[in-house]
A and B are shown apart, each in its own frame.
Chain A
Amino acid sequence: MSKIDIQLQSDDLQSLYQYAMVLCQNPSNAQDLLQSGVEVLLRETNKGKTIKQPRAYVRRVIRNLFIDQCRVNQYWQTDEYQEKASYDISPVDIEQLHIDQQLLQNIWGTLSAMDRDILYHWAILGYSTDEACEILEIPRGTFLSRMHRLKKHCAPLDDSNPQHGNDKKTRQPL
């Protein structure tokens, strides 16, 4: 009988895999990230370190590993990004946004990893977008301007919007 129980159960592993997929959008890379995260957890546990929240710990490890990989490939944006066009970045009522499931599925991969990370923290972990930006140290303005673009995608689907039913050609790419 083990002195220490297994720290990550099936649902934890599934959840962490989904998080890895949110970041890297590639099943093989996501599995690698998850396995590396689990190994870090086991190594630290074997050293005698007490990790009270293994799922959160591994999630953080996965994120750090992903950022490291991005830095190697130089596609993680560390500087504050300034949009060329000016957007209204007044608080977006993201809670009320409606979107077609298939449309989101289609545009999901075109969002930046940073934005998907925030959406994950908001939709799955239950943080507000502001909290997610703070936790993840991501400029809020950048995120809001991206959400405005997303809102434009959602706008034609919103019943309250008089432009409902506009041609998709008028939508801006994210």
Chain B
Amino acid sequence: MNDKTQSSPILLKAAAKTTIEKNTLSDTQVNALLDLQKDRLDKSDIRFAQAENGINTVDKDGGLLARLSHHPKRLTSLATMAIFAIALSLWVNNTPDYSYQIAQEAAKNHLKLKPLDVQTQSMDGIRSYFTQLDFSPVQSSVLNQRFLLSDQHLLGGRYCSIKGVTAAQLRYNDVLANKKTGNQLVTLYQVPYDPEIYGDIPSDKDAPTVVNIKGLSVSLWVEKGLLMVLTSQG
């Protein structure tokens, strides 16, 4: 007996409908999708009830971060603000103390007391020696008036550097100090002043910035476009 039955043609619409409707989800699959909806709606109800009762508690499904994760734009803007705030605080806190760094370097050079490249008692002699500098060493009026040091106290000079910039190191013999404490050498560094490298150094001649470091007193001021750093015994 032949089991194969010859089906009769039917309308395309009915045939298409039958073909399409042959595919069905199992009860388990349907229930899973119904449960998914119920689950979400229950959570929605909890939030709804909390809002109605004015309860401002942490969400049961994860708290602030979870709530924000549903709103990527808010999360992004909050993260941007946080990064900006952190960067600002780091920048403020990490702004280097230029005066201290300069003073530290000047004190280090002063204590090493390397031999002078040129021995002279005149600023002309200094200028004629320092030909490799991109500035001209000057006679400092602050040095004269405040520290009472002039050419007659000058011993000579040598090349050095402050924060990587070539500088002139002039060495003086402080006669007045000598009378009190014996031999005392004073070192004056001159380097072109660049606020980006050296920070904000006051140009007030009456009030140089003074940093005490390693038992030394380091005075900093700006004069005639040059940063002056004077190191003496504290």
Residues of A within 8 A of B (CB): 2-4, 6-10, 13-14, 17-18, 21-22, 27, 30-31, 34-35, 38-39, 42-43, 45-46, 94-102, 104-105, 108, 119-120, 122-124, 150, 154, 157-158
Q: Flag if A157 contacts B24 (CB, 8 Å).
A: no
- The distance from the CB of B4 to the nearest CB of chain A, in whole angstroms, is 10
Q: Flag if A14 contacts B38 (CB, 8 Å).
A: no
Residue B234 CB within 8 A of the other chain? no
Residues of B within 8 A of A (CB): 7-21, 23-25, 29-30, 33-34, 36-38, 40-42, 44-45, 48, 70
Q: A10-B34, A13-B25 are in contact. Are A2 and B20 (CB under 8 A)?
A: no
Chain B residue contacts of A7, Cβ below 8 A: 37
Chain A residue contacts of B37, Cβ below 8 A: 6-8, 38, 42
Chain B residue contacts of A150, Cβ below 8 A: 12
Q: Flag if A101 contacts B15 (CB, 8 Å).
A: yes
Q: Flag if B13 contacts A14 (CB, 8 Å).
A: no
- The distance from the CB of A164 to the nearest CB of chain B, in whole angstroms, is 10
Q: Flag if A17 contacts B25 (CB, 8 Å).
A: yes
CA separation between A100 and B9, bound complex, in Å?
4
Q: Flag if A120 contacts B20 (CB, 8 Å).
A: yes
23 A-B residue pairs with Cβ-Cβ distance under 8 Å, sorted by A, are A2-B38, A2-B42, A8-B33, A13-B33, A13-B34, A14-B25, A17-B25, A21-B20, A22-B20, A27-B23, A30-B23, A31-B25, A42-B41, A96-B11, A99-B15, A100-B10, A101-B15, A101-B19, A104-B12, A120-B20, A122-B16, A123-B17, A157-B9
Chain B residue contacts of A45, Cβ below 8 A: 44
Nearest residue, chain B, Cβ from A122:
B13
Chain A residue contacts of B10, Cβ below 8 A: 98-101
Q: A3-B45, A34-B33 are in contact. Are A97 and B12 (CB under 8 A)?
A: yes
Q: Flag if B15 contacts A18 (CB, 8 Å).
A: no
CA separation between A34 and B24, bound complex, in Å?
12
Q: Flag if A38 contacts B48 (CB, 8 Å).
A: no
Q: A6-B37, A13-B25, A124-B20 are in contact. Are A158 and B9 (CB under 8 A)?
A: yes
- The distance from the CB of B7 to the nearest CB of chain A, in whole angstroms, is 6
Contact of A100 among B7, B23, B24, B41 (CB under 8 A): B7
CA separation between A48 and B189, bound complex, in Å?
71
- The distance from the CB of B41 to the nearest CB of chain A, in whole angstroms, is 5
